[in-house]
Structure 1
Amino acid sequence: MLTYPKSQFMEEHLVRILSVAPVTHNVRCFKVEKPEGYRFIPGQATEVSIPKSGWREERRPFTFTSLNEWDHLEFTIKIYDDHGGVTQQLGKLESGDELLLHDVWGAIQYKGEGTFIAGGAGVTPFIAIFRQLQRDEKLGNNRLLFSNRTASDIILRDEFERMLGPAFVNTLTSEKADGMDNRRIDETYLRENIASFDQPFYVCGPDQMVEDVKQALHRLGAGADMVTVEL
């Protein structure tokens, strides 16, 4: 597994936004300049802040959804217009505006074929991982169980369907839709949808969901060293 020393990313990087595009009704894709020599492991993130008065010190973590070989960085970010916070401010930015990038960090790294379990914007660490696996022709038997409130909330649905086919499993908690489950990802759901718990698991989403899924996986037989979550 590749590792990069964190010390090389201690400086701030001022980067220009190259483009902003919608992904869903409340998620946007930000393409930004890539500092020379800037590298990360797929699944990792950096803290981002806005170099404007009152916002420069308001750092928030966002996952890279680009690959190292690309000539730019990409972030796929859910915008919370009603929170009055950093993402609301990000939602106001356009091409030509600037961002500050900080340290690279993150516990979610690929450790072998397994099952990825995501809730909402928690899927973002998995985007670069799956893109890298596709590039390397190593998607194999990996699966993605993806929980959202509604079908309109599904991030990169078309891309995941192309990459994973039937291994891309969607479940909705607030509506019914053809070809998708209408249930929460809980212990019963996991038992019914996973054949073996002797495999790597990758879990990311809202804090309570991650904790509940992690504990359920352990009860179902997944070893502690087989379940990767963001720390």
Structure 2
Amino acid sequence: MNEHIVKVLEAKFITHDVKRFVVERPQGYDFLPGQATEVSINLPEWKNQLRPFTFTNIKESNYLEFMIKLYNDHEGVTKQLGKTNANAELILHDVFGAIQYKGPGVFIAAGSGITPFISIFRELYKHNLIKGNRLIYVNKTSEDIIMGQELQRLLKNNFVNVLTREATVGFLGRRIDRNFLIENIVDFSQHFYVCGPDDFVKDITKYLMELGANFDSLVFEK
């Protein structure tokens, strides 16, 4: 397994519990939008604690970017990342991931599951290929939405915001279940991209197949 030690160029909070890291990009280090790598912190007690995080920058960037949800309820890697700032070092490993763009379709994300889609949408927008794609994005509250303004700018009316624990004007206040999919999707023969907690992905892909989606048209981390 290859290891690349990189310097943190920028680190700042973009929501109350999500931190954006911009790091050096190693020579020849390539990825497809939607893919991820395992990251560790270059400190003796943390360097062997690897966690998977998705790239959120576009392919052509001369840096790498991650948007990482922090969990402060236990002494884990993300809590330590919350204390990690510019000039610290991270260790990147090999690139992996099944999520990549296969063609226009519906993207369904929950919480930090939006991160692989951010890179995809940025890349599509840059190359004027975003038309025909739609995002359904579910969070608990409006404070949890990651990069909401940018997603709105990129997708315009094809951005559907869903909140499960807050009734806010402009947001659909309900969960994404089978009935929601029936009401909000006309064509189940198109591509579907799903990312979020394991149970969310399992439930959504099951509903989609019950409603006529082809398994080969479903893109998710298997």
TM exceeds 0.5? yes
> What residue in structure 1 maps to residue 124 of structure 2?
133
> What residue in structure 2 maps to residue 143 of structure 1?
134
- Answer yes or no: is the 8 Å Cα contact 2:106–2:191 preserved in 1: yes
Q: Distance in 1 between matches of 2:45 and 2:160?
A: 42
Shift of 1:53: 2.2
Shift of 1:57: 1.1
TM-score (normalizing by structure 2): 0.99
Shift of 1:54: 2.1
Shift of 1:51: 1.6
Name which of 143, 155, 159 aligns with 1:152: 143
Q: Does 1:28 align with 2:23?
A: no
Q: Distance in 2 between matches of 1:67 and 1:73?
A: 9
Q: Does 1:55 align with 2:46?
A: yes
Shift of 1:25: 0.9
Q: Distance in 1 between matches of 2:42 and 2:22?
A: 17
- Answer yes or no: is the 8 Å Cα contact 2:59–2:123 preserved in 1: no
> What residue in structure 1 maps to residue 163 of structure 2?
172
Q: Distance in 2 between matches of 1:15 and 1:23?
A: 21
SS in 1 for 2:66: strand
**Which is worse superposed, 52-61 or 162-171?**
52-61
Shift of 1:31: 0.2
Q: Does 1:208 align with 2:199?
A: yes
> What residue in structure 2 maps to residue 41 of structure 1?
32
- Answer yes or no: is the 8 Å Cα contact 2:104–2:191 preserved in 1: yes
SS in 2 for 1:126: helix
User: What are the ranges of 5 or more consecutive residues in structure 1 without an aligned counterpart?
Assistant: 1-9
Per-residue CA shift, 1:57-84, capped at 9, x if unaligned? 1100000001121111000111111122
SS in 2 for 1:65: coil
Q: Percent identity?
A: 53
User: What are the ranges of 5 or more consecutive residues in structure 2 without an aligned counterpart?
Assistant: none
* Regions of 4+ moved over 3 Å: none
SS in 1 for 2:48: coil
Q: Distance in 2 between matches of 1:27 and 1:195?
A: 33
TM-score (normalizing by structure 1): 0.95
Q: Does 1:77 align with 2:46?
A: no
